[in-house]
Amino acid sequence: MKAVNLLELPVEERKESIYAKGKQKPNLKCDTDSIAGVVSQRACVYCGARVVLNPVTDAVHLVHGPIGCASYTWDIRGALSSGSDLYRFSFSTDLKEQDVIFGGEKKLALAIDELVLKYNPKLVFVYSTCIVGVIGDDLEMVCRVAARKHGIDVIPVQSSGFAGNKSAGYRAACDALLRLIEPKNKKEVKKSKSLNYLGDFNLAGEVWIIKSYLREMDIDMNVAFTGDSSCAALKTAAKASLNIVQCTGSMFYLAGKMEQIYGIPYMNISFLGLEDTAESLRKIAKFFGDPETMCKAEELIEREINANGDIVRGYREKLRGKKAAVYVGGGFKAISLIKQFREIGIDVVMVGTQTGRQEEYDTINDLVDEGTVILDDANPAELEQFIVKKGAHLLVGGVKERPLAYKLGVAFIDHNHDRKHPLSGFVGAVNFAEEVYSTVCSPVWRFTQVPADAPDWLDGNAGKREIIIA
């Protein structure tokens, strides 16, 4: 297969962040700041912090900034709750020109007072935004005074949008969560046969599925970070014997810190796909080590594979020859998706992430076929170019990528935001296969047209498209 001609990239400086797998493995430029002006998908620091913290159900989420920043709300990412629904509100201090000139600290203090009076929360997260970083409001001081005054946790989240990218927001959120965990001294912690589940936000109830598997294996899920979590549960995180990490992009930092401070070991797991789910349950059972837990894990895996394996394999024949493009947040999720597509007979021809690390890109490189385009921190123009050039029939991404796929006449699966059914665990593997089949094989794609003024390389719809490699 000929190499993709990278000289055609819309932005020359992006060359080091994109390559097509060949005989030699180049180091991909990743985990750095985005190039100015390329309309990166990494979004802002505040957005990263909000993704991680918003599922804390009984917290007030107060955005200190102009009203526009507060538009990133629960509705964009519908994490579910088994208790409080306070987290579904989005509060803002609604900073105006006068506040920018004279400072917004007083307004923030009054907003906290009002919210505490009205909702009586145990926890308030106060997010800083771009303008707060520019005018220099002292969030620490305002939050400290409010915490003392009301006798609750008021935690500043240092998330001024311009101060980095989404990864910096994940770290800001993890730092805020660390402030909650008690006791601060590891010697006072009493351990239990339980684990914390890091990097699952309970979209469509996915935390509950994994919790039920663990319960069957006699292992308690102490708390999930942060899907369906509460202030009280998060405080107890130090008593777990193990941290398992699903979304490494957002929670790798917290797992490392908890190992350092509390001596809690962590392992990366994945509950995406039959193979990864089974392997992860075995890894967890092995960690706890008692024969009964291991036996229960094997029974569970056997039962679920018997019930779901044939259904998933049944889609292989129907999907043979189809190709997928993947653009997701974390590197570990991309790795899981490549394996999951293999389970249903689909080749991944383009794979990229927003926050992948070098070692994750190395694994991706080892997993994919020659010629697959691997890219970090892509922009819509690049995604469009490679989806078409590689003849993908399907794009897996987040809410921002959906319109792009549909405009190109390509099927789409939302793996992040507004989905209503779970994609985790054995049941999730079946849902995923069904969704891939129904979107890729939908008759609607026969009726999509390429616009008359489309560039030369956009030469056909997804079903008939040829791979054009320069």
Window 114 to 133, contacts with ligand SF4 (CB under 6 A)? 129-130
Q: Using an 8 Å Cβ cutoff, are 467 and 431 in contact?
A: no
Residue of 325, 343, 318, 302 lying closest to 428 (CA atoms): 343
- How many Cβ atoms are within 10 Å of 147's Cβ, its own excluded? 16
Distance CA 123, CA 145 (A): 14
- How many Cβ atoms are within 10 Å of 303's Cβ, its own excluded? 12
Instruction: Pick between residue 161 and residue 422 the one whose CB is nearest to ligand SF4.
Output: 161
| Choice from 65, 199, 380, 425 touching ligand SF4 (CB under 6 A) | 65
From the number of C-beta atoms within 10 Å of its C-beta (0-12, 13-18, 19+), residue 109 rates as: middle
SS3 299: helix
| Choice from 19, 46, 225, 288 touching ligand SF4 (CB under 6 A) | 46
Instruction: Pick between residue 161 and residue 356 the one whose CB is nearest to ligand SF4.
Output: 161
Smallest separation (angstroms) from ligand SF4 to the CB of 400: 14
Examine residue 44 and tell whether it contacts ligand SF4 (CB under 6 A).
yes
| Half-sphere exposure (Cβ direction) of 252: Cα atoms closer than 13 Å | 16
Q: Considering Cα of 322, then 379, then 406, then 429, what sign does the dihedral take?
A: positive
Smallest separation (angstroms) from ligand SF4 to the CB of 154: 20
Examine residue 156 and tell whether it contacts ligand SF4 (CB under 6 A).
no
From the list 41-49, 84-92, 237-245, 416-424, the region that binds ligand SF4 by CB under 6 A is 41-49
Examine residue 161 and tell whether it contacts ligand SF4 (CB under 6 A).
yes
Examine residue 93 and tell whether it contacts ligand SF4 (CB under 6 A).
no
Q: Using an 8 Å Cβ cutoff, are 394 and 324 in contact?
A: yes
From the list 44-52, 83-91, 184-192, 334-342, the region that binds ligand SF4 by CB under 6 A is 44-52
Smallest separation (angstroms) from ligand SF4 to the CB of 48: 10
Examine residue 51 and tell whether it contacts ligand SF4 (CB under 6 A).
no
Smallest separation (angstroms) from ligand SF4 to the CB of 63: 8
Distance CA 8, CA 82 (A): 50
Distance CA 212, CA 269 (A): 16
Question: Whose CB is nearest to ligand SF4?
Answer: 161
From the list 16-24, 42-50, 283-291, 333-341, the region that binds ligand SF4 by CB under 6 A is 42-50
Smallest separation (angstroms) from ligand SF4 to the CB of 169: 9
From the list 40-48, 278-286, 432-440, 448-456, the region that binds ligand SF4 by CB under 6 A is 40-48
Report how far apart, in Å, the C-alpha atoms of 46 and of each of 158, 337, 404 are.
8, 27, 24
Smallest separation (angstroms) from ligand SF4 to the CB of 49: 10
Examine residue 69 and tell whether it contacts ligand SF4 (CB under 6 A).
yes
Smallest separation (angstroms) from ligand SF4 to the CB of 417: 16
From the number of C-beta atoms within 10 Å of its C-beta (0-12, 13-18, 19+), residue 470 rates as: exposed
Smallest separation (angstroms) from ligand SF4 to the CB of 65: 6
Distance CA 296, CA 298 (A): 5
- Contact residues for ligand SF4 (CB under 6 A)? 44, 46-47, 65, 69, 129-130, 161
